[in-house]
Amino acid sequence: MRRISVFGATGSIGVNTLDLIARRPDAFDVVALSGGRNVALLAELAIRHRAEIAVTAFEECLPNLRDALSGTGIETAAGSDAVTEAAGRPADWTMSAIVGAAGLPPGLKALEQGGTLALANKESLVCAGPLMLETARRHGSTILPVDSEHSAVFQALLGEDIAKVERVIITASGGAFRDWSIERMARATPEEAASHPNWDMGQRITIDSASMFNKALELIETHEYFGITPDRIEALFHPESMIHAMVGFCDGGLMAHIGPADMRHAIGFALNHPHREPLPVERLDFAKLGQFTFRAPDEVKYPALRLAREVMQAGGHNGAVFNAAKEAALDAFIDRRIGFPQMAEAVEKVLVKLSSSHLGKGAMTLDTVLDADARARVAAAEIIAAL
Ligand code: NDP
Ligand code: MG
């Protein structure tokens, strides 16, 4: 039996992960499940999977969680520290699927236990890539990417020599506004941005897909995880979302990873690694699909892609600043305090404002990353209020 924990269990990735786990009840023992405000779902999942402990990230949700789990013998806890503590319980495999920088401390804690961390929380690598990789190395743990593009690159690299990689192409569906003009995008509402043409995901990543901030985070994630220099990483529009990534080698050959737009493939690959097991995803019918199309992304329409390149070049704590500013700008857009294009404007201004500070020029620790994150949120609040 493999001991499994899922952080962000009540989200889109968490529920898909537990769906796969439920199909093989004899193979897995569930240790810890964490959620946020959706206490009813957290309790339901904890009971269904006989978890040892269920943790909500928010203290005020604890009474409801306790009520829902009373008499079950399942432990309960609340608060972000309790989430991180739960990640310290020994597990062979941990899913990191909290949304945002809040996923970093529990992810690091899980890496300290020496098991496998299935990483959906791309923000961890964007904010603290070197720290995540170094922690994994020090404790003999493994990080497996779950983001579909990065799982695709990982799979295309199996048996290959990374030194022979010339280029990595990650694809983008284009999100909700791929066929909209810049003028129309300027008036977009949060509801319009939160409807994705191909993927069924959480609200925040879906809006990030419409603004290309998701792809921007993924460019940085590719750079941090695979150690590929920024000039060799490309984003490519591919509206069908069937090819998730392509790896080009020094001999001109490319390995493309193709699969349905269903996160259970990437989650299941990480769950079963190093083996492959059958997964309940659609089998593609290429004759029916007919064709795959591609186009270059428009960096004027999507400034997030340019900002990602600047962040990769600058390195250090700029990833943490970029992510925190993006999270604050996304909150402001969802609350209708700023318009859609102002998200990128705010993030750029925060990067410029903090670039001349002495922020985190030294070694990277969890404290320096959290400090950069906090300072970026303060700067973002001021900048957003003045927009
Ligand atoms: P969701 O919004 O669906 O779920 C987020 C999860 O995090 C929920 O369990 C939520 O709890 C919990 N949560 C929210 N805020 C906090 C907090 N402050 N502290 C602790 N827990 C919190 O997100 P997704 O599942 O879509 O995405 C999760 C991660 O995976 C993100 O990093 C995303 O970028 C990445 N990812 C997602 C993909 C997808 O297909 N969805 C694809 C590739 C990557 P609750 O809902 O109970 O409040
Ligand atoms: Mg992705």
**For residue range 238-250, what is the model confidence (pLDDT) as tens digits?**
999 999 999 999 9
Burial 197-228 (b: 16+ CB within 10 A, else e): bbbebbbbbbbbbbbbbbbbbbbbbbbbbbeb
Arithmetic mean of pLDDT, 121-128: 98
Q: Hey, whose CA ends up nearest to atom 36 of ligand 1?
A: 120
| Residue-wise pLDDT tens digits, 36-76 | 999 999 999 999 999 999 999 999 999 999 999 999 999 99
- Report the predicted TM-score, pTM, of the whole model to 2 decimal places: 0.98
Arithmetic mean of pLDDT, 307-317: 96
| Residue-wise pLDDT tens digits, 137-188 | 999 999 999 999 999 999 999 999 999 999 999 999 999 999 999 999 999 9
Q: Please say if the pLDDT value at position 95 is more than 80.
A: yes
| Residue-wise pLDDT tens digits, 19-38 | 999 999 899 999 999 999 99
Beta bridge partners of residue 245, listed in sequence order: 170, 257
Q: CB within 5 A of ion ligand 2: which residues?
A: 147-149
Rounded percentage of the chain residues whose pLDDT exceeds 90: 96
Burial of 286 (0-12, 13-18, 19+ CB in 10 A): exposed
- What distance in angstroms lies between residue 343's CA and the mean position of ligand 2's atoms? 20
Rounded percentage of the chain residues whose pLDDT exceeds 70: 99
Is the Cβ–Cβ distance between 319 and 332 less than 8 Å?
A: no
Q: CA-CA distances (angstroms) from residue 131 to 127, 185, 366?
A: 9, 37, 8
Q: Please say if the pLDDT value at position 358 is more than 80.
A: no
Q: Please say if the pLDDT value at position 215 is more than 80.
A: yes
CATH 3.40.50.720 fits 2-145, yes or no: yes
* Structure-token match 């945002």, residue found: 100
Arithmetic mean of pLDDT, 376-381: 98
- Pocket probe mutation, ligand 1, options 42, 62, 85, 205, max atoms within 8 Å of Cβ: 205
What angle is formed at CA 95 by the lines to CA 91 and CA 99, rounded to 5 degrees? 140
Half-sphere exposure of 63 (CA within 13 A, CB side): 1
Where does CATH 3.40.50.720 sit in the chain?
2-145
Arithmetic mean of pLDDT, 88-117: 98
CA distance 312 to 383: 23
Which ligand is nearest the CA of 122, by number? 1
